[in-house]
Amino acid sequence: MKCLDKKRIKMKQGETLALNERIMLSLVSTGNLEKRNFLQKLHHFLRENEENFEEDCPFIVCMTYAFQTSDKLCFVLDLMNGGDLHYHLNQHGVFSENEMIFYAA
């Protein structure tokens, strides 16, 4: 599960996928969007950026479920073996909250 503190999300310069994620989260973080309005904006955003969401892209994983609390946006994503995050999970075991925020952002 990917849980992001909406107050601490920062834009990563030069990384298109991180920018796309930030834009999506900024839509949610405003808090005054109705569900229908949010879904319309999300659909429009995805249509504009569909070249970044190719099926064969190694940086994209399937999102199974997403939910929001009053101060967090949580994603349930597929577990992908390998890569940098897999290495750090093997080295540290369970992440602290600060480490989780760092890797999620």
pLDDT tier for residue 9 given thresholds of 50, 70 and 90 = very low
In angstroms, rounded to a whole number, what is the distance separating the alpha carbons of residues 53 and 17?
Answer: 9
pLDDT 10s digits, 19-68: 666 666 666 565 555 556 666 777 777 676 666 555 555 555 667 777 88
Indicate the pTM of the whole model: 0.29
Whether residue 100 is predicted with pLDDT greater than 60 in this model: the reply is: yes
